Amino acid sequence: MSRKAGVSEEISQEEQELFRLTRVWFTTFNLDTIHSLDGGKTPSVTFKTSPRRLRMLCNHTLCTPTDLRLFAQVELNVMRVSIYASLPSSSTLLELDAMERQISSAVQGASIDLDLWLEEWAALGAKHIHQQDNIDTLNMRVQHAYALLTIHLRALSVGSIENIAAMTFSQQGLAQAAQQATVKHLKLILTRNHNAQQDNEQLPTDRPYLANFRHAMRFVWAKCAFSVLLVLRLGVLLKEPCQTMLEHIHDARELLAELQRAGGSEVRYTHILASSIEKSERAVDQQQTPGPRQSLTTQSTTDVSEINMHDTTSTLRSVGGSSVAHHDLSPLETYVPQELRLEWAFPGLNLYYLPLDWQELFTEFGAVF
């Protein structure tokens, strides 16, 4: 069914119908894969051939810019499925060094494949849409950053260690790489294009990715809320400088303002953004003014209702062979909104930081005595 663009011969009704069915099938497959990768659902369809073959459809006369975006995302999600499958299972009986080598090899290979995907599809978009700097390329860069951050976090989860302080050097490197990708993801979402708004005065913002955000599907709203929460949380867990954290908070506030301006029906995700910002500001204040960690009894009722990270009856974590209550963690570390916990399966929301060096831990309580 492949044709070179620009072919003037008449397309039969049968071929038009086949292309429409192809479009519908890949749209359905893409949604199913998204809910499998990021929603924890069992996939209904599996892709048994090379996703690169989709590129042949880009040459068809009926192929539109929307189709290009669809085919690119389908290929990316099939790649993500393959990359996740290449990671060792947490139940695999491997020595730590061997497991970390296998994880490192898989992640490095995945990063190369994702970079190639972005480069090649950006070139395809420029060829078929005849625009070098367009919204489609920006969308691909956003998806590329999101794929990188989720792959690093999925690789980090293989070791089943949630406490950053207890992780090996290699595992902490994965967390840092995930943070870099998350920050890049947020920066790309906030990319400005002043010319675009001048060319189309009806656009509500000069940020192309957010221009039509009110019509985005629920997953896109959830992904935004998740990525911002992750930027702020990892910034605190990885002990980033206060100035860097303030920059993250500034970007998060800009995104919140854009989403509030966009409107739409997914108001609960803007509430998650607002709560994430509030809790991160409190965490930065505590960094600037060292003192005892806040107890749950001093938090608001809303905070307490949002804290149940895995189970309402599970209030203890195992850290270095000892049990650590949730009140030893900051509100930002324990904040896992129900929408992200029950409806989606985003990785990394269980991470926290608790020093294993008891001297370091008790210095936080020095002001009390």
Q: How far apart are CA 131 and CA 137, in angstroms?
A: 9
The pLDDT-based confidence of 322 (bands split at 50, 70, 90) is: very low
163 bridge partner residues: 352
3-state secondary structure of 336: coil
Give 62-73 pLDDT, tens digit per residue: 998 889 999 999
Two tokens, residue 59:
């040459």
**Of the candidate ranges 108-112, 153-157, 193-197, 221-225, the one whose mean pLDDT is the lowest:** 193-197
The one-letter amino acid code at 101 reads: R
Predicted pLDDT at 204 = 65
Q: Is the pLDDT of residue 348 over 60?
A: yes
Q: With a threshold of 0.75, does the pTM exceed it?
A: yes
Token pair 């595992």: residue = 171
**What is the percent of the chain with per-residue pLDDT over 70, rounded to a whole number?**
78
Nearest-5° Cα angle at 250, 246 to 252: 115
Q: How far apart are CA 308 and CA 300, in angstroms?
A: 14
Predicted pLDDT at 315 = 39
Per the prediction, the chain carries an average pLDDT of 82
Predicted pLDDT at 266 = 83
CA contacts within 13 A on the Cβ side of 141: 19
Please return the burial class of 220, using the count of CB atoms within 10 Å of its CB with bins 0-12, 13-18 and 19+.
Answer: middle
Predicted pLDDT at 225 = 94
The pLDDT-based confidence of 199 (bands split at 50, 70, 90) is: low
Give 188-198 pLDDT, tens digit per residue: 999 988 665 55
Q: How far apart are CA 228 and CA 307, in angstroms?
A: 18
The pLDDT-based confidence of 133 (bands split at 50, 70, 90) is: low
Two tokens, residue 123:
């070139």
Neighbour-count burial for 14-23, b at 16+ CB within 10 Å, e otherwise: eeeeebeebb
Contact 338, 306 (CB under 8 A): yes
Predicted pLDDT at 320 = 40
Give the long-range contacts of residues 17-24, CB within 8 A, separation 24 or more: 19/60, 19/62, 22/57, 23/67, 23/70
Two tokens, residue 223:
């992904």
